[in-house]
Amino acid sequence: MNLELSDEQQFLRDAARDALSRTKTIEAARETLDGGARPDLWPTAVEAGWAGLLVSDENGGAGLGAFDAMLVMQEAGRRLAGIELLGHLPASALLDTGGYAGIEAVAAGERRAAFVGAVPPGDLDPEWTVDSVSGMSRAPAPTFDGSTVTGEVAWVVDAPGADVLVVVAVQDGSPVAVVVEDASVEDVFRYDPTRRLGHVRLEGAAATPLQADVAAIERAWYLAQALLAAESVGAVEACLEMAVAYAKERFTFGRAIGSYQAVKHGLVEIMRRGENAKSLLYYAGWAHASGPEEFAIAASACRSAASDALDYAARENIAVHGGIGATWEHDAPLFFRRAQLSRRLLGGTGASIDRVAGELLAGSAPGPVAPEGPTGAAATAVEG
Amino acid sequence: MNLELSDEQQFLRDAARDALSRTKTIEAARETLDGGARPDLWPTAVEAGWAGLLVSDENGGAGLGAFDAMLVMQEAGRRLAGIELLGHLPASALLDTGGYAGIEAVAAGERRAAFVGAVPPGDLDPEWTVDSVSGMSRAPAPTFDGSTVTGEVAWVVDAPGADVLVVVAVQDGSPVAVVVEDASVEDVFRYDPTRRLGHVRLEGAAATPLQADVAAIERAWYLAQALLAAESVGAVEACLEMAVAYAKERFTFGRAIGSYQAVKHGLVEIMRRGENAKSLLYYAGWAHASGPEEFAIAASACRSAASDALDYAARENIAVHGGIGATWEHDAPLFFRRAQLSRRLLGGTGASIDRVAGELLAGSAPGPVAPEGPTGAAATAVEG
Amino acid sequence: MDLNDTPEQAAYREQVRAWLEEHKSEAPVLEGPDALPEDQVVDAHRAWQRKLAEAGLAGATWPKEYGGQGFGPIEQVIISQEIARARVPGILDVIGVGMLGPTIIAHGSEDQKSRYLGPMLHGDEVWCQLFSEPAAGSDLAGIQTRAKQEDGGWRLTGQKVWTTNAQFSAYGLILARTDADVPKHKGLTMFVLPMDAEGVTVRGLRQITGDAEFNEVFLDDVKLDDDMVVGQVGNGWGTALTTLMFERVTIGFGSEGLGYRPQRFAEAIAGDEAAVRDGDVRQRLGHITTELLAVRFTSYRMLSALQQGQIPGPEAGLSKITTVNASIAACDLVADALGPDALREDTDSQLSYHTSFLPGLKSAGGTEEILRNTIGERVLGLPPEPRLDKGIPFSELRAKEKEAAAR
Amino acid sequence: MDLNDTPEQAAYREQVRAWLEEHKSEAPVLEGPDALPEDQVVDAHRAWQRKLAEAGLAGATWPKEYGGQGFGPIEQVIISQEIARARVPGILDVIGVGMLGPTIIAHGSEDQKSRYLGPMLHGDEVWCQLFSEPAAGSDLAGIQTRAKQEDGGWRLTGQKVWTTNAQFSAYGLILARTDADVPKHKGLTMFVLPMDAEGVTVRGLRQITGDAEFNEVFLDDVKLDDDMVVGQVGNGWGTALTTLMFERVTIGFGSEGLGYRPQRFAEAIAGDEAAVRDGDVRQRLGHITTELLAVRFTSYRMLSALQQGQIPGPEAGLSKITTVNASIAACDLVADALGPDALREDTDSQLSYHTSFLPGLKSAGGTEEILRNTIGERVLGLPPEPRLDKGIPFSELRAKEKEAAAR
């Protein structure tokens, strides 16, 4: 067992941090909210080779794994970089294995892809469903008739401006992944200036099916969850750093506020949640590579832990900063906006938590055999 | 508007406190848990006149209101007194208005009554249901055929040893309250030594209907909720006193532990929850007397706030005491046991919370027109 | 125990209701699709306050000699309830009439009372409260705005923040440090500040919502005459406590005063069948409703105590904690139920606005931590935290802090 | 990143598995319907530990010279995993072998090592840890048990509490105060205590569950020779820190070590159709599962770091916090789903037992507050709270506290 990052992984992470530091992404987010133009970070992604991260070598990609992609997403999250990888990466993975002719252009980033996914059936709901424009009531996944696809999918991440949409649709009750290159996408803005969202409306749009079985289509959905989780974990770390720094320098009643238990324990709680989510990134990364039957629960647990951690961290960061943390010029509100919208994307956090419960109740045994600790027993932990 | 206790109410409360202090109820609870006999407090209730508290003057009772009964329950809760009023009082109210021949003996406490209630239909569930022996799946209320009643009701408070059961049953789809004087009651013990519980099994038991319309039968159910809430509020106050006293006298690192924010804020949280629940006792008391259309939401809110407050208080009390708070000889665990079982009685706390939501969603406007504060606006509260 | 009006109160309510019925067509529309243009709102609201004042419906608890009615809190609540019932706005200057006027009544000179109270009550001169500073929020006594004495007056320099209404106020009540060589609570003085004095700059302070709900106020060598001192020199902290006590009463009214009512949240999700049937949504909604209902009845308990002449204790802060947290939970619930659509900023629903606004409200009027500290110590009698700033001259304290932060 | 065994680890695992396969019929049954009578449990378990020790499966991380295998933590985990897989008990004396033996190895004299370590490893002599006292829990250095020096030895008087296994231990490692005139961390010394020494009384301490999971140990003028001192006189705190570091490793394994697995709770409610379909139940179960799964992978991260030779930091305590709170929430959920029936104490389900037991566990091994303080200060680098006990002689400190409490 070894959970250390490899040298290659460390290099990938450091390079991502470096590449993203060249754009003032957080300042840009604030300006976008005020009506400024959204910075285009796709060239950065292309230059760094992230577009082909999950595409195999033979198709012109880097042939890396989900965990590597998560490392990049974590860095993007740390800086609120509005890079279109969350939509592109799961799509690229399906295009890679699905026999898509234009895969090399996708791997090179010349053509940007977006994943129009659907939530797989669960222990209570036998249907494939997608997010509706408003409300908890879910919409049926689009239908595919062999050559065209029809349906509506709301709140699709990174859909506006994408060249290729990979749409999960249903044909005769079974899921298919199809490629749509000419779709109607309504650009919608909600709350978080860093996020490109679109309502995808397909009315008999021409579509080409990919070679992808149910497992591959489910896998793409959970991959999107894991990537969103990784992005959130990065943002949690940024919030924690910001809040800790302020807690050391702000004084009340003659003491730095970080010396008060209420503040200190809240900061430790950000750390606890962030580290838990981070541990689950390893779980998701491992399951994607070596434990496919656990990937659904791993990615769902990871997504729910990370979304909750970010919600908590963003709120606590504002609270620690006091009034100033809620002002326009401060960075804390931008992380708060990110947290609020992210929680509601890709099916919503509640659905991920529900999926964890559903998988468990359906009897998917999570996790490899677990160590019981070097001394192997409960009693030691209770000794005063 | 005047929410001060009247002189009579203060007297009632002080007398209750005095009467209950004559028995070492908490010590007795511990001994009962260890196999000792349960102290019989019914004579105390009879002597104090509580058996007839809600029975009208003309039937030999005191003709007092629900809020007065709650004051007595609060004192019983404070001392974990296992007095059988929670079952008796709602039953006595139905017997009083329902034309029961033996009402004077009930008012005098010569005959003890117990309420075998049922949960009224809600916005989602059109049936009258009762607690089942195990699980969230609910059981149908017993059925009445004009002369006999058949059905099973689990976890009925104070049923063992009661002389008269007032059973809520269903006849042709409508609820009826019937009197059963010869029922099979299985005495069951669960976790809290102060609580008498019974599984009531009725197989064609002879039953006499009372004059009670749907509103009266619903009212009895919510009265039981409000009384349980009051009892819990008393226990919260006891936990708070115990924890505050210890926090002042226990020292770590050269300071009383109550000076640390983690402890201090936790104790204030007990107070916050306890005071909220207490405020809702006023709401329930007012609604019972003057706002019947709000009694369902008031009593349900009150019960849920009080149950949650007691759960929190009992846990926090143990935590503040550290290891010693979890030992057999300490009083804190007895309050913890009370909290845990109480939460699951009379339909369970979750059902009460659900009822609050259901009433709100169904459009019952809660509360009289509310004051907006002497200065009448939001902005003042936000001024630094 | 009685929530109903006494016969006298009922009669008064009838009288208020009748006046409002007669005059409500004169009230300005401040919100919604028929709202006045933004640049007319303040003046229209000011005119409406004047009418309310003339009818005895503003500052009803002020003594008669200063234009009030000498009423108790219940009558004030009756006025507020009837104003809400008539769906017309209340007064414009709630901070002045509710908190600053009473402070001047308690501590001001006779000249100050006769000069300032009348125009304040009638809305002719709006007031703002200039206490908080960037480095003096929770620790309010850490104020750094200096007031240097000179012949017949004072020179003020410093910065205030979180100042509501400063952009259209005529006057502010300002707390400044007049002596840095004594411990921090002791060297403060309260002044009246004409907002048009030379050296006063008001700048809108945008919040997370994008709106400038508050202001920053900068003071650059602002000259004030001696007659602007309220109470005594060096007793500014004592004077401020009076203001804060009146603030506490307002805060005690929690969700009621803040307008966060459970129905509002229920309505937002009632149309979504899946949400209405979801056990988690229902539990959360039930919890939130329970909390907000509790605040309502806590406010009645406080009102009842006020009516008996009791001064509300720090526990009034619990209502603020409950209200803010329950309202945050409610916004969160609605967004979970409706999805990203709940976060749209271009509608009247205000849900997105409140989602953004409420986190900042946690710190306003005392952070939750400070409120819990105070309640724990003053109400539950728990021992205080060790105080490192006690008895130390203010100037020394700052130097120490700088040193510690640099470590 | 790799969760799988290296070829060497796989070979070792095979070897352990083969031994267990061959010998598992000799293992005692400690729980369930076929369990041994209570009075035979300890001896049977002791005999099983001896067999494990002889096979090199006890104390595998101990140096070879003291009977261990000189292995790293991964091999120890492999042993634990295979023991769990074979469904046989581990060793009896996890406290001795896991924490106290390593302390003696680090600080003991050669005589102590050769006398005590062998019988400890083989289960012939069980050990207990005598640190905590009624007034020294979170603030462990506040120990009051006194050790007075006399010719060639010491006299110990005081009281210890929360002592697991004391009722059948041969020895204890005890922390006592040898000097009350220096600040509290400085006047402590560690001793070996023979549990059959004159003046030692062990009394079972019943918990909220009704069982005596712990003991109190009373010391009445117990005589110990000089050679019972472990490490140096006055350096007891340093010696204790070694024990606590090994405890931390154990705590870091959180839910795994404590056996609170999400399936266990899911199984309890899976049979109730209404519960399985309830949105609130599902959200709560999903949250709890997420937390417990996170602890599992946090423990892998710690193990990986240990394997690289890193010493785990105080953040290991986060796993304990997560495990205890998630397990409490799980018991609460099951009782909400099953109703009062979940609280029956006369079954094998143990749910009621855990409902009672877990609140006490919150305080064990460091309260949540102390853990969060330590992590905040040592890991996040936040400033400490002002310490009122620093540098003050212990005797003076006690007098001050008494005075303050009396106020």
Q: Residue A380: what pLDDT?
A: 29
Q: Residue B379: what pLDDT?
A: 30
Assess if residue B130 is contained within a domain: no
| Pairing outcome for strands A164-171 and A113-116 | parallel
| Pairing outcome for strands B197-206 and B208-209 | unpaired
Partner residues linked to A144 by β-bridges = A149
Distances (CA, A) of D225 to B369, D113, D153, D172, D193: 79, 16, 4, 15, 10
**Residue D81: band (very low, low, confident or very high) from pLDDT cuts 50, 70, 90:** confident
Q: What is the mean pLDDT of residues A183-200?
A: 95
Owning domain of residue B257? 216-380
- Say if residue C391's pLDDT is above 90: no
Q: Nearest by CB to C373, which of B261, B305, B361?
A: B261
Question: What DSSP string describes C85-137?
Answer: HTT----S-HHIIIIIHHHHHHH--HHHHHHHHHHHHTTSS-EEEE--BTTBS
Assess if residue A170 is contained within a domain: no
pLDDT tens figures, A298-346: 999 999 999 999 999 999 999 999 989 999 999 999 999 999 999 999 9
- Say if residue D252's pLDDT is above 70: no
Shortest alpha-carbon distance between residue B258 and chain C (Å): 6
Contact: B343, D134; criterion CB under 8 Å: no
D282 touches chain C (CB under 8 A): yes
The SS3 of residue B325 is helix
Assess if residue B60 is contained within a domain: no
Q: Residue D35: what pLDDT?
A: 87
Q: Residue A1: what pLDDT?
A: 66
**Residue D305: band (very low, low, confident or very high) from pLDDT cuts 50, 70, 90:** confident
Q: What is the pTM of this model?
A: 0.93
| Pairing outcome for strands A143-144 and A148-157 | antiparallel
Rounded to 5°, angle at Cα A86 from A83 and A89: 105
Question: Which residue numbers of A have CB closer than 8 Å to B's CBs?
Answer: 260-262, 265, 323, 384
**Residue C252: band (very low, low, confident or very high) from pLDDT cuts 50, 70, 90:** low
Q: What is the mean pLDDT of residues D37-53?
A: 95
**Domain D127-234 CATH (choose: 2.40.110.10, 2.30.30.40, 3.40.50.1010, 1.10.1380.10):** 2.40.110.10
- Residue A106 burial (10 A CB sphere; 0-12, 13-18, 19+): buried
Distances (CA, A) of A69 to A49, A233, A367, C93, C256: 11, 13, 22, 56, 49
Shortest alpha-carbon distance between residue C399 and chain B (Å): 25
Q: Residue D372: what pLDDT?
A: 95
Neighbour tally for A120: CB within 10 Å: 21
For the domain covering D254-378, report its CATH number.
1.20.140.10
Assess if residue A329 is contained within a domain: yes
- Say if residue C105's pLDDT is above 60: yes
Higher pLDDT, A37 or B352: B352
- Say if residue A17's pLDDT is above 90: yes
Assess if residue A194 is contained within a domain: no
- Say if residue C57's pLDDT is above 90: yes
Q: Residue C3: what pLDDT?
A: 76
Catalytic residue among D75, D216, D247, D291: D247
CATH number at residue B288: 1.20.140.10
Verify whether residue C247 is a known catalytic residue: yes
Contact: A254, C134; criterion CB under 8 Å: no
**Residue C312: band (very low, low, confident or very high) from pLDDT cuts 50, 70, 90:** confident
Chains that touch D (3 or more CB pairs under 8 A): A, B, C
Q: Residue D323: what pLDDT?
A: 92
Higher pLDDT, D354 or B75: B75
Average pLDDT, chain D: 91
Contact: C282, D281; criterion CB under 8 Å: no
Q: Residue B361: what pLDDT?
A: 93
Q: What is the mean pLDDT of residues A262-290?
A: 97
Assess if residue A300 is contained within a domain: yes
Q: Residue D172: what pLDDT?
A: 97
pLDDT tens figures, C267-284: 889 999 999 999 999 999
Distances (CA, A) of A275 to A80, D314, D365: 19, 13, 21
Which segments of chain C belong to CATH 1.20.140.10? 254-378
Percent of chain A at pLDDT > 70 equals: 94
How many CA atoms does the CB half-sphere of A47 hold within 13 Å? 12
C207 touches chain A (CB under 8 A): yes
Q: Residue D349: what pLDDT?
A: 67
Q: Where are the alpha helices (DSSP H) in chain A?
A: 7-20, 25-33, 42-48, 66-78, 85-97, 103-108, 214-249, 261-290, 295-321, 332-343, 349-361, 379-382
B251 touches chain D (CB under 8 A): yes
Q: Are B219 and B228 in contact (CB under 8 A)?
A: no
Distances (CA, A) of A356 to B136, B281, D262: 21, 39, 11
Average pLDDT, chain A: 93
Least confident of A256-260, C401-405, D245-249, D255-259: D255-259
Q: What is the mean pLDDT of residues A275-294?
A: 95
- Secondary element (H or E) of residue D225: strand D214-225
Q: What is the mean pLDDT of residues A208-230?
A: 98
- Say if residue D104's pLDDT is above 90: yes
Q: Residue D246: what pLDDT?
A: 86
Chains that touch A (3 or more CB pairs under 8 A): B, C, D
For the domain covering D7-92, report its CATH number.
1.10.540.10
Which segments of chain C belong to CATH 2.40.110.10? 127-234
Shortest alpha-carbon distance between residue A324 and chain B (Å): 12
> Could you say which residues from 305 to 344 on chain B have a Cβ atom under 8 Å away from some Cβ of chain C?
305, 308
- Say if residue C396's pLDDT is above 50: yes
Q: Residue C210: what pLDDT?
A: 86
Assess if residue A294 is contained within a domain: yes
Catalytic residue among C82, C247, C256, C291: C247
Q: Residue C392: what pLDDT?
A: 84
- Say if residue A260's pLDDT is above 50: yes
**Nearest-angstrom CA–CA distance, D314 and D377:** 10
D366 touches chain B (CB under 8 A): no
Q: What is the mean pLDDT of residues C122-129?
A: 97
Residues of B in contact with A323 (CB under 8 A): 384
In chain A, the number of structural domains is: 1
Q: What is the mean pLDDT of residues D58-67?
A: 94
Q: Tell me which residues of chain B have a pLDDT lower than 50.
A: 367-384
Positive/negative CA dihedral, D282, D286, D292, D293: positive
pLDDT tens figures, B321-357: 998 999 999 999 999 999 999 999 999 999 999 999 9
Q: Are C79 and C16 in contact (CB under 8 A)?
A: yes
Q: Residue A238: what pLDDT?
A: 98
Tokens of B341: 């079982």
Q: Where are the alpha helices (DSSP H) in D233-382?
A: 236-252, 254-258, 262-270, 273-277, 279-307, 317-338, 351-361, 368-378
Q: Residue C400: what pLDDT?
A: 80
**Residue A384: band (very low, low, confident or very high) from pLDDT cuts 50, 70, 90:** very low
Residues of B in contact with D345 (CB under 8 A): 191
